[in-house]
């Protein structure tokens, strides 16, 4: 029996993936009166705050069937959930998945993703080529270098990537990455990196957030500034592209798209993440509606919320390195001093063990003005021993 949408509060929502994104989704869902059933193997951040936990792998057939039979709508918090699992959940029309399998399949393959963005959606991307074998390296134009070689599938936070400057380095990197299918992308002259979050509902209603300005270190997002310090033209262009991409994908749910802003003021799409995004964490306090509340609204058939900023915000990513001193001895960050700073909001993800480069939490720093938010963020970074955020 198919459920009637919009789903009423009190309904159970399915969640594939139990990490921190799932945890924040479950918190938003609970606040709106929904229960969450998370599918994840073992204890996880999301299970701590969810009503139900199916302790199994994403591909476990019995677990998938339980989720399909007991929830009317399922969402994801992890971009590498197999698309076939989403197809199985949606079989027979008993369960709606946001996003749907076909959209996730495109986002999971960087070659398909680039083809879709450029050829279907008409969105500019960096010059690139696919490499199916090491011999394909000889076909690379010298104009593509310097470049980044990326595995076509899997890989995030800088994993599965190598910088290359010529054909010789390209061949060596391809072998180093396991002779897997890859994409070679030309390095562009960047002014900054931004992301945009677009939300599209079951009825096709679409909203976009103001842009997020992102600063990465070692391939991992370190700082987000919201709203981004970009021109009105750049903002309108990127938000327009995002709405077009969501429409062409027939996307349902929360989608993040990373863009490069080039030195000449033009933009190029980088990658899509078919889920809420690290850069959007700042919306929990700094926007009228957070990305996680939008995720709940989109999958339940409710009207989407207002994405306007309430204030300026800076997000600082907290990696496990902060839990170790210079000699690799365990230490605890000075939360008390941090929380004395005006406008600071601390989010810890409930992960039992800190590891280097592991995302353990984030800090959002709020301010009435951009200058105030940045000044407070600099003070917060100093307390935590983080590099200058800007």
Are the C-beta atoms of 265 and 234 separated by less than 8 Å? Answer: yes
Lowest-pLDDT choice from 2-11, 241-250, 282-291, 320-329 = 2-11
pLDDT surpassing 60 at residue 1: no
The CATH number linked to 212 is 3.30.470.20
pLDDT digits (tens, 9 = 90+) for 186-240: 999 999 999 999 999 999 999 999 999 999 998 899 999 999 999 999 999 999 9
Q: What is the mean pLDDT of residues 28-47?
A: 97
- Do 22 and 92 share a structural domain? yes
| Residue 3 pLDDT grade (very low, low, confident, very high; cuts 50, 70, 90) | confident
Residue 56 belongs to some domain of the structure: yes
Are the C-beta atoms of 344 and 361 separated by less than 8 Å? Answer: no
> Tell me, what's the pLDDT at 157?
58
Matching residue, tokens 């969640």: 15
- Do 300 and 216 share a structural domain? yes
> Tell me, what's the pLDDT at 41?
96
- Do 160 and 67 share a structural domain? no
- Do 163 and 32 share a structural domain? no
> How many domains does the chain divide into?
3
Residue 269 belongs to some domain of the structure: yes
Residue 299, classed as helix, strand or coil, is helix
- Do 178 and 258 share a structural domain? no
Matching residue, tokens 């936070």: 157
CA 317/CA 344 separation, integer angstroms = 13
- Do 296 and 206 share a structural domain? yes
Q: What is the mean pLDDT of residues 288-302?
A: 98
Question: DSSP string of 171-210?
Answer: HHHHHHTTS--EEEEEPP-EEEEEEEEEEE-TT--EEEPP
CB neighbourhood size of 354 (10 A): 18
Q: What is the mean pLDDT of residues 48-68?
A: 96
CA 363/CA 287 separation, integer angstroms = 15
Of 146, 130, 183, 132, the closest CA to residue 161 belongs to 183
- Do 362 and 243 share a structural domain? yes
Q: What is the mean pLDDT of residues 295-322?
A: 98
pLDDT digits (tens, 9 = 90+) for 62-73: 999 999 999 999
| Residue 379 pLDDT grade (very low, low, confident, very high; cuts 50, 70, 90) | very high
Q: What is the mean pLDDT of residues 44-57?
A: 97
Residue 207 belongs to some domain of the structure: yes
DSSP 8-class letter at 390: -
Residue 270 belongs to some domain of the structure: yes
pLDDT digits (tens, 9 = 90+) for 329-344: 999 999 999 999 999 9
Residue 231 belongs to some domain of the structure: yes
Structure tokens at 177: 């990455």
Residue 301 belongs to some domain of the structure: yes
pLDDT surpassing 60 at residue 294: yes
Q: What is the mean pLDDT of residues 47-69?
A: 96
List, in sequence order, every residue forming a beta bridge with 287; answer none if it has no partner: 309
Sign of the C-alpha dihedral computed for residues 123, 124, 128 and 129 taken in this order: positive
Domain end residue (candidates: 47, 75, 97): 97
- Do 255 and 143 share a structural domain? no
> Tell me, what's the pLDDT at 121?
97
> Tell me, what's the pLDDT at 154?
76
Structure tokens at 147: 């470049």
- Do 286 and 137 share a structural domain? no
The CATH number linked to 181 is 3.30.1490.20
Residue 120 belongs to some domain of the structure: no
Non-local (6+) Cβ contacts of 328 within 8 A are none
pLDDT surpassing 80 at residue 351: yes
CA 305/CA 298 separation, integer angstroms = 9
pLDDT digits (tens, 9 = 90+) for 82-93: 999 999 999 988
Phi, psi of 295 (to 5 degrees): -60, -40
Structure tokens at 160: 């599965």
Q: What is the mean pLDDT of residues 272-291?
A: 98
CA 138/CA 108 separation, integer angstroms = 26
Q: Which domain holds residue 167?
A: 127-186
Of 71, 78, 10, the closest CA to residue 44 belongs to 78
Residue 111 belongs to some domain of the structure: no
Structure tokens at 263: 């030195």
The CATH number linked to 40 is 3.40.50.20
pLDDT surpassing 80 at residue 52: yes
> Tell me, what's the pLDDT at 156?
63
Q: Identify the residue with better confidence: 120 or 94.
A: 120
Whether the full predicted model's pTM is greater than 0.85, yes or no, is yes
CA 102/CA 236 separation, integer angstroms = 27
pLDDT digits (tens, 9 = 90+) for 128-169: 999 999 999 999 999 999 999 999 997 665 678 999 999 999
pLDDT digits (tens, 9 = 90+) for 97-120: 999 999 999 999 999 999 999 999
Are the C-beta atoms of 258 and 245 separated by less than 8 Å? Answer: no
CA 139/CA 130 separation, integer angstroms = 10
- Do 366 and 244 share a structural domain? yes
Domain end residue (candidates: 54, 76, 97): 97
Of 139, 214, 150, 141, the closest CA to residue 177 belongs to 150
- Do 180 and 219 share a structural domain? no
Cα–Cα separations (whole angstroms), residue 8 to 3, 29, 37, 118: 10, 12, 16, 39
- Do 322 and 180 share a structural domain? no
Average pLDDT score, the chain: 96
Question: DSSP string of 2-37?
Answer: PPPSSPPTT-EEEEE--SHHHHHHHHHHHHTT-EEE
Matching residue, tokens 């929380």: 339
Domain end residue (candidates: 186, 206, 227): 186
């Amino acid at each position: 029996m198919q459920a009637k949408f919009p789903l009423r509060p009190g309904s159970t929502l399915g969640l594939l993936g139990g990490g921190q994104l799932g945890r924040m989704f479950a918190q938003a869902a609970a606040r709106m009166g929904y229960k969450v059933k998370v599918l994840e193997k073992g204890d996880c951040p999301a299970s701590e705050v969810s009503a139900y936990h199916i302790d199994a792998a994403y591909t476990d057939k019995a677990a998938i069937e339980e989720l399909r039979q007991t929830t009317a709508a399922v969402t994801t918090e992890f971009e590498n959930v197999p698309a076939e699992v989403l197809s199985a959940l949606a079989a027979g029309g008993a369960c709606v998945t946001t996003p749907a399998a076909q959209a996730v399949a495109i986002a999971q393959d960087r070659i398909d993703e680039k083809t879709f963005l450029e050829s279907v959606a008409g969105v500019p991307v960096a010059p690139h080529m696919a490499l199916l074998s090491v011999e394909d390296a000889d076909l690379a134009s010298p104009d593509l270098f310097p470049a980044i070689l990326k595995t076509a599938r899997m890989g995030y936070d800088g994993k599965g990537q190598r910088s290359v400057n010529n054909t010789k380095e390209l061949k060596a990197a391809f072998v180093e990455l396991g002779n897997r299918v890859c994409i070679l992308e030309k390095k562009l002259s960047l002014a900054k990196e931004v992301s945009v979050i677009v939300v599209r509902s079951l009825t096709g209603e679409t909203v976009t957030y103001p842009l997020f300005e992102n600063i990465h270190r070692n391939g991992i997002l370190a700082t987000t500034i919201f709203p981004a310090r970009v021109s009105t033209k750049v903002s309108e262009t990127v938000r327009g592209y995002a709405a077009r991409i969501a429409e062409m994908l027939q996307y349902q749910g929360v989608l993040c798209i990373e863009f490069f802003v080039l030195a000449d003021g033009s933009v190029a799409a980088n990658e899509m993440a078919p889920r809420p995004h690290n850069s959007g964490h700042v919306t929990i306090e700094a926007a009228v509606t957070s990305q996680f509340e939008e995720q709940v609204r989109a999958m339940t058939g409710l009207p989407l919320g207002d994405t306007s900023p309430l204030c300026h915000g800076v997000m600082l990513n907290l990696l496990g390195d902060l839990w170790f001193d210079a000699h690799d001895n365990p230490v605890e960050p000075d939360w008390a001093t941090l929380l004395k700073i005006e406008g600071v909001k601390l989010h810890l993800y409930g992960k039992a063990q800190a590891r280097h480069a592991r995302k353990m939490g984030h800090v959002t720093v709020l301010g009435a003005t951009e200058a105030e938010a940045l000044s407070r963020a600099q003070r917060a970074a100093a307390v935590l021993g983080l590099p200058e955020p800007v």
